[in-house]
Structure 1
């Protein structure tokens, strides 16, 4: 199926739905879904962003600005996954409890406003990764138009560019809880610390990155081709001081470089035992 045909199929799904409440994070996937839904459904499409300590304020600001650019109505709600020990204890299926909280928050809104579904931005590639949150969403009746039609992440970016969305190449920004190794307790203070560290690096001009946090150690991940430039151009003593002021003691640079879902490699080791 060509990309044009896939887009038409996604549009057809929205026409069949007749209305759409979108679980909208501001990432490139859910923003594309919001754009298509709004173009077809107008005021029968609503983007809803759930706010919690695992979402950077800067990400919420981006989501709000993008929704305004599209024109879609945007509602902000609070989610409370930090009150769930099944989430904060950070088990390997942490995302299941996060998405359970998200959809348990959104589904009453669906009923209140008379919508039929919550629609999310899960794409076809997500189905081949370890994503326990997808199961939680399905159990609660969510629809995933991109995944249903087989739209991949690369195609999401292509379609976003074709539709004139200026953030088509926006780096992925999963929730801040993904920065911690499984089993390490997640706290609001730790989320704030790692979020401020990443914003500091972004403000230096490094966009596609992660600051992984383990205990008192921060591990910076950058694309492999950027590592040498980072070492040569960054004021390392100032960076170290900044991170230590945030509460880290040790600051390291991952020589392998950034790779999405990197912390999941421990799951392969567990499976191999």
Structure 2
């Protein structure tokens, strides 16, 4: 890792959707692009751990631009923790980028530490996923495995998934080129990527409160519940950027971004429809609405959120 200095971006308070606040001075996308392409070109060949999100999409797009044909492949891990619509979107995005995408079947649920969900689940997930991508890279004769980790990710106080990446000697071209999240989005806009404004979408397991066992049934329940919330909001003509259904030990919480939550709370009929719709998906107990925020939750009925330095963080996909 080269550890380049961050591109000039003014600091600010925490932003919405669990991302750093937008910079007070705009990022120069040409400068960010040049730094990233230089970093990727020096790799020679790479398998990109791809999730379909903006971070890994920018890495894959950079690799397609900077490296020879046949020296780049994208790889996405397909497991019960990946929503079907996210897999479909990832396929479309890779096609848009002109990149080969290999879908790797992974079985994180076979790993005791992952199922236990004790606060370090992301370590076991990344260990499994990046291990499979490393196997693909070796089989293809590719020198490196890269993730979409950016500079802001490195400064987070507790990211067990990053520890797994370090152990596997995975490269982080965004961070190494000095790109923050704001710079990543600036480059994505500069390149006209369709996912440039896509909100973060961690795996379905991130919706299961710390301390509750991760199971195939619970993952399916979360996926169906969030789909039901999205459908109900669409029926009521409410556009929500961020939607989560969190499973707690004695119920569930529907989390919406601030504008959508205000609309839902002002319309009792919509609130009732949301709670009733999720409740009809399966045995989930009593539910309530709440504000969206990234991060893991405890198993309490209130679902109090762990601190950023605590044992759990909602991590992005690789």
TM-score for both structures, normalised by structure 2:
0.80
Residue 8 (structure 1) aligned to one of 26, 34, 41: 34
Q: Secondary structure at the match of 2:42?
A: helix
Q: Secondary structure at the match of 2:75?
A: strand
Following TM superposition, by how much is the alpha carbon of 1:239 offset from its aligned partner in structure 2, in angstroms? 2.5
Deviations, residues 105-137 of structure 1 (Å, cap 9, x unaligned): 121111111011111001111112221101101
Following TM superposition, by how much is the alpha carbon of 1:268 offset from its aligned partner in structure 2, in angstroms? 6.0
- The number of equivalent residue pairs is 269
Residue 91 (structure 1) aligned to one of 97, 112, 118: 118
Matches within 5 A, 1:87-236: 87-129=114-156, 130-203=158-231, 204=234, 205-233=239-267, 235-236=270-271
How far apart are the structure 2 equivalents of 1:269 and 1:104? 27
Structure 1 counterpart of 2:274? 239
Deviates more, 1:111-120 or 1:225-234: 225-234
How far apart are the structure 1 equivalents of 2:164 and 2:33? 26
Q: Which runs of 5+ in 1 are unaligned?
A: none
Following TM superposition, by how much is the alpha carbon of 1:85 offset from its aligned partner in structure 2, in angstroms? 1.1
Q: 1:136 to 1:270 in 2, by over 3 A?
A: closer
Structure 1 counterpart of 2:103? 76
1:266 aligns with 2:289: no
Structure 2 counterpart of 1:250? 286
Aligned 8 A contact 1:43 1:72 in 2? no
Q: Which runs of 5+ in 2 are unaligned?
A: 1-6, 9-27, 299-304, 312-318
How far apart are the structure 1 equivalents of 2:35 and 2:272? 53
How far apart are the structure 1 equivalents of 2:199 and 2:166? 26
Q: Secondary structure at the match of 1:68?
A: helix
Q: Secondary structure at the match of 1:251?
A: strand
- Measured on the aligned residues, the alpha-carbon RMSD in Å equals 1.9
1:47 aligns with 2:67: no
Higher helix share: 1
If asked which structure has higher relative contact order (CA below 8 Å, sep 6+), I would say: 2
Deviates more, 1:233-242 or 1:189-198: 233-242
How far apart are the structure 2 equivalents of 1:171 and 1:64? 17
Q: 1:195 to 1:239 in 2, by over 3 A?
A: same
TM-score for both structures, normalised by structure 1:
0.92
1:34 aligns with 2:34: no
Deviations, residues 211-245 of structure 1 (Å, cap 9, x unaligned): 11113512111122332212335633333332122
How far apart are the structure 2 equivalents of 1:270 and 1:37? 35
Q: Secondary structure at the match of 2:211?
A: coil
Q: Secondary structure at the match of 2:123?
A: helix
Q: Secondary structure at the match of 2:73?
A: strand
Q: 1:263 to 1:249 in 2, by over 3 A?
A: closer
Deviates more, 1:6-15 or 1:85-94: 6-15
Deviations, residues 86-111 of structure 1 (Å, cap 9, x unaligned): 11010111110000001221211111
Aligned 8 A contact 1:90 1:184 in 2? yes
Aligned 8 A contact 2:93 2:194 in 1? no
How far apart are the structure 2 equivalents of 1:269 and 1:141? 24
Q: Secondary structure at the match of 1:266?
A: coil
